[in-house]
Chains A and B, each alone.
Chain A
Amino acid sequence: MLEIIRDGSQAIRLKGRLDATQSEMAFTEFDTLQGECRVWFEELDYISSAGLSVLLHTQQRLSKDGGSLTLCGLNQHVRLVFEYAGFDTIFTIE
């Protein structure tokens, strides 16, 4: 189960699991982000490659207009997924 909480047009808070069953819903929500955006991960327990695809696609789309995602509050397990995927070099992680 994934809950996505919007905070204006430039911030998203994720809660629960971002897996293959939730990635389509997440994609729809991320597709509305514009410019410099922050994604809060404090309450995200789990992410798989399906979730990483949503973030990668969004980062590629935003960067075309000079925007980007900044990812905040990743737990140690989620952070390791980003490191192993090499995503720590293509996202700003705080």
Chain B
Amino acid sequence: MDSLPVIVGFLEDAKRTQEFDDGAFFVLNMVVEELYTNMVKYNGNGADDILIGVEKEGGNMVIRLVDFDSEPFDYTSQSEVDVSASLHERTPGGLGIHLVKRFMDEVSYQYKDRKTSIRLVKYLNANA
């Protein structure tokens, strides 16, 4: 978690160089934080070896996270969070991944030889 401020600095550079607007930058922060903290939490041994990339491809923002030494965890098939539950039925568990899936237009997951790769696409011409 100590790396998060460094990562935010990297994302701010990406915003500047690739000219992401405030809405795209907000989503970029959220997606990277939620997935990175999840990777560190569940794959603690690989915390130093997580690669984060972001680029503009056509009209899209494409985000990639790669954990080079991890257990399988399919982010795309996690059970849905019940967002209509009452206050006292709510738990914070799963909310981060739920938000990632809501904010992004495409999420794909790959696991091979202990390497987890996640690729996410946000259509920048769509509403946040």
Which residues of A are in contact with B by a Cβ distance under 8 Å? 17, 19-21, 46, 48-50, 52-53, 56-57, 59-60, 63, 76-77, 80-81, 84-86, 89-90
Residues of B within 8 A of A48 (CB): 29-30, 33-34, 96, 99
- From residue 28 to 49 of chain B, which have CB atoms closer than 8 A to chain A? 29-30, 33-34, 37
B34: chain A residues within 8 A (beta carbon): 48-49
Number of residues in B with C-beta < 8 Å to the partner?
29
Question: Which of A21, A49, A90 is in CB contact (< 8 Å) with B99?
Answer: A49
Partner of A21, one of B5, B22, B85: B5
Instruction: Determine how close the nearest CB of chain A comes to the CB of B83; give it in whole angstroms.
Output: 3
A77 touches B26 (CB 8 A): yes
Determine the main DSSP class of B at the interface with A: helix
Stretch at the interface among B50-58, B87-95, B108-116, B117-125: B87-95
- Whole-angstrom distance between the Cβ of A64 and the nearest chain B Cβ: 9
Q: Give the interface SS of chain A, mostly helix, strand, loop or mixed.
A: helix
Nearest CB in chain A: distance from B52 CB, A: 15
For A49, A57, A89, which residue has the most chain B Cβ atoms within 10 angstroms?
A49
Judge whether B33 and A20 touch: CB under 8 Å. yes
Among A17, A76, A80, A90, contact of B90 (Cβ-Cβ < 8 Å): A90
Q: Which residues of B contact A (CB under 8 A)?
A: 1, 4-5, 8, 22-23, 26, 29-30, 33-34, 37, 81-88, 90, 92, 95-96, 98-99, 102-103, 128
Contact between chains at B92 and A56 (CB < 8 Å): yes
A63–B81 alpha-carbon span in the complex (Å): 22
Q: Which residues of A contact B84 (CB under 8 A)?
A: 86, 89
Extra 10 A-B pairs, beta carbons < 8 Å, given A20-B33, A46-B26, A85-B95: A49-B99, A52-B92, A57-B92, A59-B87, A60-B87, A81-B99, A85-B99, A89-B83, A90-B87, A90-B90
